[in-house]
């Protein structure tokens, strides 16, 4: 991109404008923040409205020397920026370009590390909290939080069979030695301790939670359904996907000689984003992953901005840096991940094929993924209206009613096949319809079945 293209986009995590020469304090904070994150450019001679006002030529050399002195006197460890001028539309701009440093964290000398470490969040410089300073120190040592030993939990408190079963599903074996190789456990001084990765994977931390909600309309004022899933990562992934399926419309199309049903939002794309949120979130922060379903959009919010200051453009181009190296490697070993950096590209490709709008953005310390639901989403059948206009039905329930209209009576196995869920989930959905007074269960033994309320 040209400098004009950058200016037109406005200030962001890698770009800041100043109309006039700023104070030493503001320069130092911006330079430190850029160095701690993904680098960036401070451009002097552009106002807040993105108009190029330029810098007087007679002041250029004075400003360059002043900036060099400020950075040397105010910032620690030493930062070596590139300072240069650009002639744009006949006006001179002074550019201070900073690259991500390797001696993290950078901070203001006068205030010290604790009170002087700044990071870049969006287009602003923010004082880093203690957890962020610790994270920057980890990055300096090329370590991740999930690699670190956890001395708060005894290994005998963990059900390792949960992981062993996941490997068995794909025809692989797993034992104690394998867990050590994967860095889920570590041997220290003849004792074995779990790493933070194992604590996360098996749900030992309070923040290993996904909160899901289906709201009525396009705001958060009224919710139709709300669930909170905790436990091991494999379970909360499955439960969250089931929640999404339960509240998405199905529609049918003909492929060759077969009738194929598909969700209004491609299941593969949804799964990829939920998987990304679980694997790449910041587990040092107390917030939870959130999934919100509205009439117009589905929003999936992950905790922690892009790792190491990556940008949307970096991620869209397939660049991958891991915040949770051990967790990511485990999921790749279990074939949940195909290849590094391919997830977002895959989602964009799927949505483009389906002519569906998808947006990815970074807001403060969160990553937001938004799928726009198709307008007038087709339902399985208009015959659902026969049930009752006063009863709020989920898309899964609508598809069950349509099946009942066709078959007159169904059993839980029919629902398992229809929805692609396990027996327990099928029975929960059927019981939900029974509680709403839509279906009726006939019999109490193995031969029991369900019919629409008006049927006998």
Residue 304 is classified by DSSP as S
111 within 8 A of 26, measured Cβ to Cβ: no
| Selected residue with higher pLDDT from 444 and 55 | 55
| Nearest partner of 105 among 113, 115, 97, judged by Cα | 113
Output the pTM of the full model: 0.78
- Taking residues 193-201, what's their average pLDDT? 98
Q: For residue 323, which phi and psi values (nearest 5 degrees)?
A: -80, -35
Q: What is the pLDDT of residue 238?
A: 95
CA angle 333, 338, 340 (to 5 degrees): 90
Chain-centre distance for alpha carbon 410: 38
| CA-to-CA separations, 41 to 10, 14, 16, 60, 66, in angstroms, rounded | 12, 6, 6, 17, 17
What's the CA gap between 261 and 418, in Å, rounded? Answer: 9
What's the CA gap between 101 and 360, in Å, rounded? Answer: 27
**DSSP string spanning 66-87?**
HHHHHHHHHEES----EEEEEE
| Token representation of residue 412 | 């839980």
| Nearest partner of 248 among 71, 395, 351, judged by Cα | 395
Q: Where are the alpha helices (DSSP H) in 107-227?
A: 112-116, 130-140, 161-169, 176-181, 196-201
> Per-residue confidence at 383, pLDDT binned at 50, 70, 90?
very low
- Taking residues 413-441, what's their average pLDDT? 85
Measure the N-to-C terminal CA separation of the chain; round to a whole number of Å. 69
Residue 105 is classified by DSSP as P
What's the CA gap between 84 and 146, in Å, rounded? Answer: 41
Q: Mean pLDDT over all residues of the chain?
A: 90
| Nearest partner of 14 among 309, 351, 337, judged by Cα | 309
Task: Count the helix, strand and coil residues of the chain and give each as a percent rounded to the nearest 5.
Answer: 40, 25, 35
416 pLDDT more than 90: no
Catalogue the E-assigned strands of 157-308: 185-188, 191-194, 209-215, 223-230, 250-255, 258-263, 289-293, 297-303
* Residue 286, helix vs strand vs coil: coil
| Token representation of residue 111 | 């205030």
Q: Residues, the chain, total? A: 456
Burial string for 227-261 (b: 16+ CB within 10 Å, else e) reads eebbebbbebbbbbbbbbbbbbbbbeeeeeeeeee
Q: What is the pLDDT of residue 378?
A: 46
151 within 8 A of 294, measured Cβ to Cβ: no
Q: What is the pLDDT of residue 57?
A: 95
Set out the domains of the chain in order of their start, with CATH numbers. Answer: 3-140 (3.30.950.30), 145-201 (no CATH), 209-372 (3.30.565.60), 382-452 (1.10.10.10)
pLDDT in tens, 99-155: 999 999 999 999 999 999 999 988 999 999 999 999 999 999 999 999 999 999 999
User: 259 pairs with which residues across the strands?
Assistant: 254
Judged by average pLDDT, the poorest of 76-85, 281-290, 419-428 is 419-428
420 pLDDT more than 80: no
| Token representation of residue 239 | 């439960």
What's the CA gap between 299 and 283, in Å, rounded? Answer: 20
Pseudo-torsion of CA 267, 273, 275, 276, nearest 10°? 160
């Amino acid at each position: 991109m040209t400098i004009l293209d950058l200016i037109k986009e406005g200030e962001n995590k890698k770009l800041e404008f100043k109309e006039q020469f700023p104070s030493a304090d503001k320069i130092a904070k911006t330079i430190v923040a850029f160095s701690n994150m993904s680098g960036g450019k401070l451009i002097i001679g552009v106002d807040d409205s993105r108009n190029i006002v330029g810098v007087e030529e007679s002041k250029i050399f004075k400003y360059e020397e002043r900036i060099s002195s400020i950075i040397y006197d105010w910032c620690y460890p030493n930062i070596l920026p590139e300072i240069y001028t650009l002639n744009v539309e006949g006006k001179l701009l002074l550019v201070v370009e900073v690259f991500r440093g390797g001696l993290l964290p950078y901070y203001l000398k006068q205030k010290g590390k604790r009170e002087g470490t700044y990071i870049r969040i969006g287009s602003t410089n923010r004082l880093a909290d203690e957890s962020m300073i610790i994270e920057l120190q980890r990055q300096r040592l090329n370590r991740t939080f999930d690699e670190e030993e956890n001395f708060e939990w005894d290994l005998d408190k963990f059900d390792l069979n949960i992981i062993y079963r996941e490997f068995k599903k794909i025809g692989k074996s797993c034992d104690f030695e394998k867990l050590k190789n994967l860095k889920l456990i570590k041997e220290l001084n003849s004792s074995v301790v779990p790493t933070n990765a194992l604590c996360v994977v098996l749900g030992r931390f309070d923040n290993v939670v996904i909160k899901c909600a289906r709201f009525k309309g396009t705001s958060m004022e009224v919710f139709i359904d709300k669930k909170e899933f905790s436990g091991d990562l494999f379970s909360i992934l499955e439960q969250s996907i089931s929640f999404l399926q339960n509240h998405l419309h199905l529609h049918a199309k003909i492929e060759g000689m077969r009738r194929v049903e598909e969700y209004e939002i491609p299941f593969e794309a949804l799964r990829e984003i939920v998987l990304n949120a679980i694997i790449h979130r910041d587990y040092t922060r107390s917030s939870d992953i959130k999934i919100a379903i509205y009439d117009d959009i589905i929003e999936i919010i992950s905790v922690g901005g892009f790792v190491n200051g990556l940008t949307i453009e970096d991620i869209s181009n397939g660049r991958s840096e891991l915040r949770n190296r051990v967790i990511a490697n485990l999921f790749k070993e279990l074939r949940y991940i195909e290849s590094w950096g391919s997830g977002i590209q895959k989602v964009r490709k799927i949505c483009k094929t389906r002519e569906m709008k998808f947006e990815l953005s970074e807001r403060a310390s969160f990553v937001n993924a938004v799928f726009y639901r198709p307008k007038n989403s087709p339902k399985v059948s208009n015959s659902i209206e026969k049930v009752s206009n006063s009863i709020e039905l989920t898309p899964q329930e609508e598809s069950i009613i349509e099946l009942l209209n066709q078959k007159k009576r169904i059993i839980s196995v029919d629902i398992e096949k229809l929805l692609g869920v396990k027996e327990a989930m099928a029975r929960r959905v059927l019981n939900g319809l029974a509680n709403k007074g839509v279906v009726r269960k006939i019999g109490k033994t193995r031969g029991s079945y369900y019919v629409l309320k008006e049927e006998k």
